[in-house]
Amino acid sequence: MLAVQSLWDILFLLALVIAVAPFFGAYLGRVYLDRPAFGDVLLNPMESAVYRLLGTSPRRSMRAKEYMFAVLLVNAAVFAFLYLFFFFQNALPLDATLAPGMRWDLAFHSAASFTTNTDFTHFTNETQLSLGSLIIAWPLALFVSAATGLSVAAATIRGFVRKDGTLGNFYVDLVRTITRVLLPISLLAALLLVLLGVPETFKNYVVAYPITGGTQPIFLGPVASFQSISWLGTNGGGFYSANAASPLANPSAGSDLLGAFLMLLIPFSTPFAFGQIVRRRPEAWPLMGTILVVFAVAMGLFVAYQAAVNPALVGLPGLAPQTSGYPVGQETRFSLPEASLFQVASVYSNTGANNMQIGAISPVGQLVLLFGMFTQSTPGGDGTGFGMLLLFAVLGIFVGGLMVGRSPEYLGKKITTGHIRWAALALLAHPALILVPFVVAVAGGFASTTSGSVPTSAHTFTSILYEFTSEAANNGSALSSGSFNDTTPFFNVAGGVIMLVGRFVPIWAMLAVGGMFSEEEILPPGPGTLRTASATFTVYLTLFLIIISVLLFLPVIALGPLAQIVGGP
């Protein structure tokens, strides 16, 4: 039975992040409006120097196509750099773990994974990643991928208030995101993590002599600075293969709560940045309300099922009755609600860090996590999660307008079939990227298990479904290890392609929709205008998002998680 007192700290933390979000969101808005903001005296001259080095200027605002081209170019450069670094890691500096160079398909999967803010890993950090790959190459992607997502969201939002067809300068947005958001907060958070027990050193390992004999190499490194940007940037990569379950990466309840705060901070604040940029603050609340309702229901279900007894272990001789939660795959130092908050915050923000073995939890818990990746937008990853929610809203307003006979417009911008085509493309790409590879993997015999080439258990179905969903949503949490082998060329190549398409097609759609809005005049509200800053619209948008997501995925969840819930193996 779960004690009510044990919920207090997570309720306090959620209240704190929701209370901070409007203020931090307003700050984010000022950053992207290029308005005077905290830190200008120090940062303005530095940023100007960087713009000169890049050969650009804030006055050179880009149209949607040019912005998209710049996004693709910068990310292609990061991808190429990572691919080459991983492929040749044994020949590059800081090869302390003596890891061999990655095979081409693993290097492809890893480079795609880090570039797209997914951070899904098909390798064991401690044995397959050189120190240089871990502390030089990967952190670069942790910063750039998060900054790309936020810049794209800012550009898309600007479309609502501009009439000249431009969305801003991608390079300027990238630089300002890093200097004013990601770098200062992750620096501060890294120091807090050290105070909470996380290592931060340039020594890469020490050899200990355990008291019962033998040796135990203990891997160390700049763990705190890695984890803080990994969580703040909703990346989710772990310094250790145990990710956020590792006692070195996440040593206490305090670091666990700080991690949850960092993962939710930017995604929860972005709706308020939206309100600030479009100069209509009440417009933030329907979007924030949708996020909060879905998140709260998910949290409640997850905690309740984490506290439930596993019937499969009841009555085992010599075992005391299960009282304090379900320990299999869990860490001792977190209370059940603390572990759950981190895990739900991580998957719902598309961070994908795990502080538990999610393959070991109840099937209902697994379904809750899957649902967060189906919506991708409650709240979703830094920037892109909010972008998806805006596309849901645009589609919802269009459909709702048809139903009640209102003219489909959002914030004075007319929604046309052009907008709908792009929004539908982004929303339909997601199930296509999950279901098509799922069928190919299962029917093609690529997901071979110990029991044969075609999986027969519901748990294996869930694992394969989870793998592709996590990649398509750029989430990165994994449930698969053990039930099938995902380190084959098939899963590396398919996974890499899914992550790249699942990242850049929705980004393209967001920028295209923002670009079309930016071409339009702003209409004054008329009698036929659907009021979007209202409770009615909040309820409508929430239901619209849930119904669309359930309809798209119901058949496939019946094969895996639902079959497990009703008692399949």
Six token digits for residue 191: 């120091």
User: Considering the complex, what minimum distance in angstroms separates the CB of residue 265 from other proteins?
Assistant: 19
User: Considering the complex, what minimum distance in angstroms separates the CB of residue 327 from other proteins?
Assistant: 5
User: Considering the complex, what minimum distance in angstroms separates the CB of residue 279 from other proteins?
Assistant: 22
Q: Which of 431/455 has CB closer to other proteins? A: 455
Closest residue by Cα to residue 373 from 442, 460, 471:
471
Q: Which of 42/436 has CB closer to other proteins? A: 42
Closest residue by Cα to residue 97 from 264, 257, 291, 240:
240
| CA atoms of 362 and 364, how far apart (whole Å) | 5
The H-or-E segment that residue 396 falls in is: helix 384-404
SS (H, E, C) 14-61: HHHHHHHHHHHHHHHHHHHHCCCCCCHHHHHHHHHHHHHHHCCCCCCC
Exposure of 131 in the CB half-sphere (CA atoms within 13 A) = 16
Residue 423 identity (one-letter amino acid): A
Q: Which of 41/53 has CB closer to other proteins? A: 53
Q: Which of 90/481 has CB closer to other proteins? A: 481
User: Considering the complex, what minimum distance in angstroms separates the CB of residue 366 from other proteins?
Assistant: 9
Residue 94 identity (one-letter amino acid): L
Buried b (16+ CB within 10 A) or exposed e, 204-222: beeeeeeeeeeeeeebbbb
User: Considering the complex, what minimum distance in angstroms separates the CB of residue 509 from other proteins?
Assistant: 20
Q: Which of 396/560 has CB closer to other proteins? A: 560
User: Considering the complex, what minimum distance in angstroms separates the CB of residue 330 from other proteins?
Assistant: 6
Burial of 238 (0-12, 13-18, 19+ CB in 10 A): buried
Distance, C-alpha 441 to centroid of its chain: 24
Q: Contact, 491 vs 106, CB < 8 A?
A: no
Q: Which of 137/427 has CB closer to other proteins? A: 137
| CA atoms of 105 and 59, how far apart (whole Å) | 42
User: Considering the complex, what minimum distance in angstroms separates the CB of residue 435 from other proteins?
Assistant: 22
Q: Which of 220/424 has CB closer to other proteins? A: 220
Q: Which of 415/464 has CB closer to other proteins? A: 464
| CA atoms of 492 and 108, how far apart (whole Å) | 7
Q: Contact, 473 vs 351, CB < 8 A?
A: no
Q: Under DSSP, is residue 122 helix (H, G, I), strand (E, B) or coil?
A: coil
Closest residue by Cα to residue 119 from 320, 352, 407:
352
Name the β-bridge partners of 484. Answer: 481
User: Considering the complex, what minimum distance in angstroms separates the CB of residue 40 from other proteins?
Assistant: 20
Q: Which of 138/398 has CB closer to other proteins? A: 138
| CA atoms of 87 and 105, how far apart (whole Å) | 10
User: Considering the complex, what minimum distance in angstroms separates the CB of residue 556 from other proteins?
Assistant: 18
Sign of CA dihedral 127, 131, 135, 138: negative
User: Considering the complex, what minimum distance in angstroms separates the CB of residue 89 from other proteins?
Assistant: 14
**Helix runs in 119-221, H state only:** 125-128, 131-132, 138-158, 170-177, 183-195
Q: Which of 50/263 has CB closer to other proteins? A: 50
Q: Contact, 330 vs 365, CB < 8 A?
A: no
Q: Contact, 117 vs 145, CB < 8 A?
A: yes
Q: Which of 451/536 has CB closer to other proteins? A: 451
User: Considering the complex, what minimum distance in angstroms separates the CB of residue 19 from other proteins?
Assistant: 18
